[in-house]
Amino acid sequence: MTGLEDLARRREAEAKRIRALLDGGHENRMADLKIGETAVAFVKEELCIGCDQCPLVCDDDAIDMVQRPMRSPLIDMESNRKAVIRRDDCTGCGLCVLACPTDAISMIDR
């Protein structure tokens, strides 16, 4: 039978393994990202689920969350929030791309 200590050891090892995978993935993604003064973030609104992660990581306060009407008149929801980039304030750092769980943000030419 698995003891608690053994379980804790395995859980810690698994957490380290996942952290290393994520860190490696971020480095690879950062290497692929177009970042810097010539780039600006762009949100595909249909992929945005309004989770608030991108405004949290944006140091330049360049992302607004706005309410959008639902496309279908049959769906009556008060909240359909979407992220919108303020292009003039975006410094092209790319952090929001890494934070987005739905890959709704990409970096494009300014």
Q: Which is nearer to ligand SF4, 5 or 46 (CB)?
A: 46
Q: Measuring CA to CA, how many Å separate 3 from each of 10, 11, 19, 87, 91?
A: 11, 12, 24, 54, 51
Question: Please, what is the minimum distance in Å from the beta carbon of residue 82 to ligand SF4?
Answer: 7
Nearer of residues 5 and 88 to ligand SF4, judged by Cβ:
88
CA atoms within 13 A on the CB side of 46: 1
Nearest-approach distance from CB 2 to ligand SF4, in angstroms:
37
Q: What is the rounded end-to-end Cα distance, in angstroms, of the chain?
A: 59
Residues of the shown chain interacting with ligand SF4 in the complex, contacts defined by CB under 6 A:
41, 43, 48-54, 57-58, 60, 62-63, 83, 85, 90-96, 99-100, 102, 104-105
Tracing tokens 């791309």 back to the chain, one arrives at 97
Tokens at 45, concatenated: 């609104």
CB of 81 to ligand SF4, least distance (A): 7
